[in-house]
Amino acid sequence: MTAVVLGLRLGRWGVVGFSALAFFSSLVQALAFFQLAGRTPAEQAAFGKSMTQLASSLTLVLPPPMRLDTVGGYVEWRSFGGLAIVFAVWALISAGGAARGDEERGLVEVALAASLTRFGWIASRFTGFAAASFVAAAFGGLGLVVGALTGGESVSLRAVLEQSVALAALALSCYALTLLVGQLAGVRIATASAGVLLLALFFVNTLSRTFTSLTSVRWLSPFHYYELNHPLVPDAGLDARSTAVMLLIALIAGGAAAVAFASRDLGSPLLRLPVPSQPTTYEVSVNPVWRIPVLRGVYERRLGLLVWAAGIAFLGAVFVSLTKTVIQPLMSIPALTQFFGGFVQGRLYTSFLGFFWLSTAELLFAAFAIAQVARWSAEDSDGRLEVILSQPQSRATVVVERATVLAVGAAVIAALSGVVVAVASHNQGMDVSSERLAEGSLLLVPFALVFAAAGSVLAAWNPRAAVGLLGAFAFVSYVLAELGPLLNWPAWLQDFSAFKLFGTPLSSGIDRAGLLTMIAIIIVGFGASILLMERRDVGA
């Protein structure tokens, strides 16, 4: 029990942050439903019909919807469909820390020295995350209840409980798979390898809706079983069999992770690539890259950067290949004629890619920045920052080098993904403006730096809370940009969103005022983080 409490204490910021995120996500979507669909059955039926036509063409990320004429069906699609991705990322980060991060900080050695078995350690972290994910998912259901009451309707508490169980089961299966990969792979590539696995399982499921050749293997994906549950939809309910499969995946992967952990040495992977043996040496590395600022940071992160670049570029190519398939049915929906009429004439595909692809790329670059901030926070607690400062190297130099390394990495990812999207668009015969595409792709670099600047401030102030608070900031910023115009929120409030600062570069060009604002935020944010680092002791 003590180990479980320790696990909950280590992840308390994640529980608080993701509980708040799930609550406000469901609450905002419930309020948006009554704003968009109206309150009469006839209005809601008409809204549900139009939205179902739209949703059927946007299944690359969100699952196919059911009963969008009801607040439960709409929130299940818009909120809990997206929360599946969010909770999977949470599971990835949390399990990555439990599998490898705790070893680097010495927590596992302390726990084992206190007579806790290796199986007990894995079981305690597994149990702790199971409880945490269910609590966070339940807060998502609570947000729906509050939003529905505001609209004069009610939602079954049993349905909310069942939805919470399904979402927690998905998160737990992703957590167990990450734990298992963490035992097999080395420290530097464990989390990245697990991320690749989860991303592959996610796209095996989503792409199987378009490419029928994948339907024969989507049974491997826990995301497929999650989508079979519709407890918030009237006359549907929880699919007990699919939920049991997700829990079975979690138990099998968790058990295999415990066996693998018991079979390996601390700090070493279970599977080692055959490499020629070399004599132990304490001499300084002769590789000149380690002596060049910025370049050494990029070189150290080269594997992770390669994974990010390849993954985002691949996703961009997939979006391009699906653009024509998505546009044609959408253009036939009368309710969306006015919306598409706002696209620049003669640049339909360019404008639609800006709406369809770049909006997704923004989320991915925000996630990239959050991942780097997580690394900065870890360096503070595991002693690496202390070693860097002992070189000697000033704290201001550390912050500037971190920002520059992130900018270079984001530029590499943006350039590669932009080139891939341009080539794929040309092969598809789409009239995409190369100039606008280049501008939109490169604008993702300062966009990522905005989140990095905010994260740098948080990491300098409170490293343990930095990732959770930055994730909450990203979520609020996204909600302001997406729902602000629909709910007629004040313009000054919408201006706080980094996503609004990005604008629509493919359809209307770069928003110079937004770009200047982002640059100002970057300068002020990293400058403030320097001041905060100067005032705080390392590890405090």
Which three-class secondary structure string do you get for 457-474? HHHHHCHHHHHHHHHHHH
Strand, helix or coil for residue 232: coil
Report pLDDT digits (tens) over 22-78.
Answer: 898 899 889 888 887 887 888 888 888 777 766 665 666 667 788 888 988 999 988
The CA–CA distances, whole Å, from 500 to 364, 380, 418, 514 equal 16, 32, 21, 8
d(Cα 120, Cα 3) in Å, to the nearest integer?
Answer: 8
In this model, does residue 223 exceed pLDDT 60? yes
Task: Indicate the pTM of the whole model.
Answer: 0.78
Q: Rounded to the nearest 5°, which phi and psi values hold at 274?
A: -70, 115
The residues near 329 (Cβ < 8 Å, ≥ 6 apart) are 53, 56, 57
Report pLDDT digits (tens) over 348-379.
Answer: 667 677 777 888 888 889 888 988 888 888 78
158: region left, alpha or beta (phi > 0 left; psi from -120 to 50 alpha):
alpha
| 270 DSSP 8-state letter | S
Which range has highest mean pLDDT (202-216, 386-400, 439-453)? 439-453
**Residue showing tokens 């401030």:** 457
Report pLDDT digits (tens) over 270-311.
Answer: 776 665 666 767 777 777 887 888 888 888 888 888 888 988
Q: Indicate the residue type of 92.
A: L
Report pLDDT digits (tens) over 124-168.
Answer: 888 989 999 999 999 999 999 999 998 888 888 999 999 999 999
From the centroid of its chain, how far is CA 142? 22
Report pLDDT digits (tens) over 482-521.
Answer: 777 766 777 777 777 888 888 888 777 788 888 999 999 9
The tokens describing 301, both together, are 């992160």
The tokens describing 423, both together, are 């080539």
d(Cα 507, Cα 433) in Å, to the nearest integer?
Answer: 10
Give the bridge partners for 230, in sequence order. Answer: 237
What integer pLDDT is reported at residue 59 of this predicted model? 62
What integer pLDDT is reported at residue 358 of this predicted model? 84
**Residue showing tokens 């705790």:** 102
* Chain mean pLDDT for the chain: 82
3-state secondary structure 440-455: HHHCHHHHHHHHHHHH
What integer pLDDT is reported at residue 452 of this predicted model? 93
What integer pLDDT is reported at residue 446 of this predicted model? 94
Q: Is 314 exposed, middle or buried (0-12, 13-18, 19+ CB in 10 A)?
A: middle
5: region left, alpha or beta (phi > 0 left; psi from -120 to 50 alpha):
alpha
pLDDT category, 6, cuts 50, 70, 90? low
Number of residues written out for the chain: 540
Share of the chain above pLDDT 70, in %: 86
d(Cα 80, Cα 75) in Å, to the nearest integer?
Answer: 7
What integer pLDDT is reported at residue 509 of this predicted model? 79
Report the sign of the C-alpha dihedral through residues 185, 189, 191, 192, in that order.
negative
The residues near 288 (Cβ < 8 Å, ≥ 6 apart) are none
- What is the full DSSP assignment across 390-408? TTT--HHHHHHHHHHHHHH
pLDDT category, 531, cuts 50, 70, 90? very high
What integer pLDDT is reported at residue 69 of this predicted model? 86
Q: Rounded to the nearest 5°, which phi and psi values hold at 365?
A: -70, -35
Prior bond of 334 cis (ω within 30°): no
Q: Rounded to the nearest 5°, which phi and psi values hold at 236?
A: -110, -110
What integer pLDDT is reported at residue 97 of this predicted model? 75
In this model, does residue 435 exceed pLDDT 50? yes
What integer pLDDT is reported at residue 344 of this predicted model? 45
What integer pLDDT is reported at residue 342 of this predicted model? 46
Q: Rounded to the nearest 5°, which phi and psi values hold at 36?
A: -90, -40
What integer pLDDT is reported at residue 188 of this predicted model? 65
Closest CA to 7 of 125, 104, 107: 125
d(Cα 505, Cα 438) in Å, to the nearest integer?
Answer: 10
Under 8 Å between Cβ of 289 and 296: yes
Give the bridge partners for 237, in sequence order. Answer: 230
d(Cα 535, Cα 457) in Å, to the nearest integer?
Answer: 12
The tokens describing 321, both together, are 């290949």
In this model, does residue 334 exceed pLDDT 70? no
d(Cα 233, Cα 464) in Å, to the nearest integer?
Answer: 38
What integer pLDDT is reported at residue 329 of this predicted model? 57
pLDDT category, 177, cuts 50, 70, 90? very high
What integer pLDDT is reported at residue 341 of this predicted model? 45
In this model, does residue 191 exceed pLDDT 90? no
Share of the chain above pLDDT 90, in %: 25
- What is the full DSSP assignment across 310-356? HHHHHHHHHHHHHHHHHHHHHHT-GGGHHHHHTSPTT-HHHHHHIII
What integer pLDDT is reported at residue 189 of this predicted model? 72
What is the pLDDT averaged over residues 72-87?
89
